[in-house]
Amino acid sequence: MSIDREQVHKVALLARLELTPEEEELFTTQMGSMLDYFQQLSELDVSNVQPTTRAIDVSNITRIDELNPFAEREAILKNAPDQDGDFFKVPQILGSDE
């Protein structure tokens, strides 16, 4: 098994997911098999392959620093569950991860 229940518990916590003990058990098994499946990749010999961070071979994509304001800001505000005037309104913040 490549992942244990404690790791699943931690990942769930970091992703702010509430899992029941049964779900934790189930996901430990399922994620374990996924990771085992990917493990097959390590059979390949990559000693002569340059490491990469991307699948597409492009670099230096940039844009000009030119102002082009978005016209429908109201639509964005309306997307939120709650707003207060021009602000987004969020529930009480209990702690900080930062």
Closest C-alpha to 4, from 23, 22, 29: 29
76 binds another protein (CB under 8 A): yes
| Distance of closest approach, residue 75 Cβ to another protein, in angstroms | 9
Smallest distance from another protein to CB 82, Å: 8
Total residues interacting with another protein, rule: CB under 8 A: 36
Contact by Cβ (8 Å): 10, 47: no
Q: 21 vs 51, which CB is nearer to another protein?
A: 51
Map residues 35-74 to x or -, x wherever contact with another protein holds by CB under 8 A: ------------------xx-x-xxxxxxxxxxxxx--x-
Long-range Cβ pairs for the range 4-8 (8 Å, 24+)? 4/28
CA–centroid distance for 71 within its chain? 29
